[in-house]
Amino acid sequence: MDFLLNEEQEMMRKVVRDFALNEVEPGAAERDETEHFDRSLYAQMAEMGLTGIPWPEAYGGAGSDNLSYAITVEELSRVDASLGVTLSAHVSLGSYPIYGYGSEAQKQKFLRPLAEGTKMGAFGLTEPYAGSDAGGTRTTAVLNGNEWVINGNKIFITNGGEAEIYVVFAATDKSKGHKGISAFIIEKGTPGFSFGKKEKKLGIRSSTTYELVFEDCRIPAENLLGEVGQGFKIAMSTLDGGRVGIAAQALGIAQGAYDKALEYAQQRVQFGKSLAEMQAIQFKLADMATKIEAARLLTYQAAFRKDKGLPYGKFSAMAKLYASDTAMEVTTDAVQIFGGYGYTRDFPVERMMRDAKITQIYEGTNEIQRVVIAGNILKGK
């Protein structure tokens, strides 16, 4: 057993941290305030190869691993959780299904520009009446000649509006429930595909979240991803991986808030002592640091198992559950340590606390994570 990162992973962390501190952090508060998604940051990430870390070079990727990808999402989220989720949704949700289930032609046509970062990916599963229960999907796809005709709405879509390539789930046979769902690749600009409401959110405000609207949207038959009826399976396996990304995002938020709180506790003097000299604060910091380390081990383990080709669904659910709860707790404590200042927008912990909440909700609420974990445990996995 070896708990040390290898040389490349260490370098990845250093490089992404430098990038995050120099390029991402300075504008993070303002982007949050104005709900502005900065595509130029995505372009810089593309240039560095961050948009296709785990995919093979044959598809425009960097040929690296999921652990490096998790470290990248963590480091970005440490200063800006919005950019962290942008990358996570792009890689884990928008790109993975094409890598995992796409044909060679689909990989060349869609995965390559996603990996190279000339395009951005998104994932359309959630609907007004089908959130955690994907079986209730009402969006339909009907084969008409050599085209699929898509009708329906998807909501809360991360990267919506900005992304060029969407993996969208629709019922091809409603009578079959889960087994009647199929996955499709739909490009921005396709007639009949438009964007509805832009969500105004509590946190991750500089990542875009849109409703996708399909009205007789016709796509070529070859844009079916995987096989007819395979959609639910594709969605679930995608979410297994996506949870590693969200766990990493939550871990990064927690680490970022903890770092700010630690620094502040050492600087801020009250009653003639620095906050860090007071036991009440020391205990808080100790708990925060311990939870973060535990979240990190769970998250890296899930990524590591994925890289090794081992079953990891239970582990990624545990990582997501624990890391997101940790993010919420640690950011709340960080705001507390900052006191009145922490509640203002002059300091980043306020934003981090708002950003943390979503990690307990998306890619399966934490209640769903427990369902997944319990399901695995009870099956003896």
Partner 1 sequence: MRIVVCMKQTFDTEAKIALTADGLIDSTGVTLVVDPYSEFAVEKGIQFKEKFGGEVVIVCIGDTQAETAIRQCMAMGADRAVIVTDPAMDGSDQSATARVLAKAVISQEPDIILGGFKSVDSGSAQVMLRLAEILNLPHVNVVTNIEIGEGKAIATRELDDGVELVEVSLPAIFTAQQGLAEPRYPSVKGIMQAKKKELKRLTLADLDIDPTSVGPANAKVKIHGLTLPAPRKGGRIIGGEIPEATADLVKALRDEAKVI
Partner 2 sequence: MAGVWVFAEAKDGKFRRVILEMLGEARKFADHLGEELWAVLVGSNVAELSSLLGEHGADKVLVMDNPNLAAYTTDVYAGVTLGLINTYQPTAVLFANSNMGRDLAPILAQKLDTGLITDLTGITYGPEILFKRPIYAGKALVELSFAANARPMLLTIRPKVFTPAEPQTGRQAEVITASADLNALTLRQVIKDVIRKASTRVDLTEADIVISGGRGMKNPENFKILEEVADILGAAVGASRAAVDEGWREPQYQVGQTGKVVSPQLYIAVGISGAIQHLAGMNSSKCIVAINKDPEAEIFKVADYGIVGDLFQVIPILKQELQQALASA
Which active-site residues does the annotation give? 363
Q: Is 229 in the site for partner 1 (CB under 8 A)?
A: no
Stretch binding partner 2 (CB under 8 A), from 104-112, 129-137, 262-270, 311-319? 262-270
The total number of residues shown for the chain amounts to 381
Q: Is 22 in the site for partner 2 (CB under 8 A)?
A: yes
Q: Is 341 in the site for partner 2 (CB under 8 A)?
A: yes
Q: Which is nearer to partner 2, 340 or 380 (CB)?
A: 340
Indicate the SS3 state at residue 210: strand
220 binds, among partner 2, partner 1, none (CB under 5 to 8 A by kind): none
Tell how strand 273-274 and strand 147-158 pair up. Answer: unpaired
Q: Which is nearer to partner 1, 222 or 263 (CB)?
A: 263
Q: Where are the alpha helices (DSSP H) in the chain?
A: 7-19, 25-34, 39-48, 66-79, 81-88, 96-101, 104-106, 112-116, 231-267, 279-307, 313-338, 348-359, 366-378
50 binds, among partner 1, partner 2, none (CB under 5 to 8 A by kind): partner 1
In whole angstroms, the minimum distance from the beta carbon of 77 to partner 1 comes to 18
Instruction: State the Cα–Cα distance between residues 249 and 202, nearest whole angstrom.
Output: 16
Calculate the alpha carbon distances from 7 to 11, 13, 49 in Å. 6, 10, 18
Helices (H) and strands (E) in the chain, counts: 13, 10
Phi, psi (rounded to 5 degrees) for 129: -110, 10
Task: Return the closest-CA partner of residue 244 out of 17, 77, 37.
Answer: 77
Instruction: State the Cα–Cα distance between residues 377 and 362, nearest whole angstrom.
Output: 22
Partners of 39 in beta bridges: none
Q: Is 57 in the site for partner 1 (CB under 8 A)?
A: yes
Distance of CA 234 to the CA centre of its chain: 17
Stretch binding partner 2 (CB under 8 A), from 95-103, 131-139, 263-271, 299-307? 263-271
Per-position x/- string for 289-328, each x denoting binding to partner 2 as judged by CB under 8 A, each - no binding: ----------------------------------------
40 burial level (CB within 10 Å; 0-12, 13-18, 19+): exposed
Q: Is 36 in the site for partner 2 (CB under 8 A)?
A: no
Q: Is 264 in the site for partner 2 (CB under 8 A)?
A: yes
Q: Is 62 in the site for partner 1 (CB under 8 A)?
A: yes
Q: Which is nearer to partner 1, 18 or 367 (CB)?
A: 18
| Of 37, 59, 66, 68, the one binding partner 1 by CB under 8 A | 68
Stretch binding partner 2 (CB under 8 A), from 59-67, 244-252, 264-272, 328-336? 264-272
Q: Which is nearer to partner 2, 195 or 343 (CB)?
A: 343
Question: By rule CB under 8 A, what count of residues binds partner 1?
Answer: 19
Instruction: State the Cα–Cα distance between residues 95 and 233, nearest whole angstrom.
Output: 16
Interface ranges with partner 2 (CB under 8 A): 22, 26, 264, 267-268, 341, 346
Interface ranges with partner 1 (CB under 8 A): 7-8, 11-12, 14-15, 18-19, 44, 47-50, 53, 57, 62-64, 68
